[in-house]
């Protein structure tokens, strides 16, 4: 199949097709949650990181609040920043996030910078080759939990290589076989993401 130079690459597939489970009054019940991968063509790097970094940039200038606002595609030939968001049916509180990529052409998207978006200090445990094919990462907050909804947990900056159209499969962390969240209870309870399209 041929792709025009300005075609949109579905570079990251979000879980918008899954739907979100019925709300639960318990902010620690993370069942039914989904990860959303979002690219905003209006919020793009133009040199040095903005004051506060790329995660704060999202919260101040690029945030979305519904699945309908999601854009999982990156224009070919463009340098862009995109985010992984945690989305639930209502505001939640959690202390761990884990996800990864399946197999894809590593030239599809050239990663230039990446990192967790956390409300405070954190510990990240990436697998070898992260971010890349068949690799994943786990992030745990150490002094403040994530709270709310449609919250960024990770950002990526890179180049969508126009000569290699395709899709980066988003889902579980391949080395562990898990994708989802851990709440902040002691001991924490893990919740798998609802689905991976």
The end-to-end CA distance of the chain, in Å, is 22
Confidence check: pLDDT of 43 > 80: no
Tokens of 156: 């990526």
Residue 15: which pLDDT band, with cuts at 50, 70 and 90? very low
Taking residues 51-70, what's their average pLDDT? 84
Q: Does domain 8-16+33-192 have CATH number 2.30.29?
A: no
Q: Residue 122's beta-bridge partner residues?
A: 141
Report domain extents, the chain: 8-16+33-192
Q: What is the mean pLDDT of residues 187-194?
A: 96
* Helices vs. strands in the chain: H and E counts, helices first: 1, 14
Bridge partners of 111, per DSSP, are 158
pLDDT band at residue 60 using 50, 70 and 90 as cut-offs: confident
Place of tokens 């790097």: 45
pTM over 0.75: yes
Query: Among 63-67, 110-114, 154-158, where is mean pLDDT lowest?
Result: 63-67
Mean pLDDT of the chain: 83
**Rg, Å, the chain Cα set:** 16
Kindly tell me if the per-residue pLDDT of 78 is higher than 50: yes
Which residues are CB-neighbours of 102 under 8 A, at least 6 positions away? 133, 134, 168, 169, 170, 171, 174
């Amino acid at each position: 199949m041929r792709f025009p130079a300005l075609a949109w690459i579905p570079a990251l597939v979000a879980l918008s097709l899954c739907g979100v489970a019925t709300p639960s009054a318990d902010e620690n019940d993370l069942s039914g949650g989904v990860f959303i991968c979002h690219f905003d063509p209006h919020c793009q790097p133009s040199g040095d990181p903005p004051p506060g970094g790329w995660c704060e940039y999202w919260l101040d200038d690029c945030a979305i609040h519904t699945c309908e606002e999601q854009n999982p595609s990156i224009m070919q030939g463009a340098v862009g920043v995109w985010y992984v968001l945690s989305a639930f049916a209502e505001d939640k509180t959690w202390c761990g996030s884990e996800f990864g990529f399946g197999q894809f052409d590593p030239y599809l998207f050239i990663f230039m910078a990446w990192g967790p978006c956390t409300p405070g200090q954190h510990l990240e445990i990436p697998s070898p080759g992260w971010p890349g094919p068949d690799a994943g990462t786990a992030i745990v907050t150490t002094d403040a939990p994530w709270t709310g909804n449609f919250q960024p947990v990770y950002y990526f900056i890179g180049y969508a290589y126009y000569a290699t159209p395709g899709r980066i499969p988003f889902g579980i962390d391949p080395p562990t076989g898990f994708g989802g969240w851990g709440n902040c209870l002691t001991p924490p309870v893990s919740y798998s993401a609802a689905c991976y399209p």
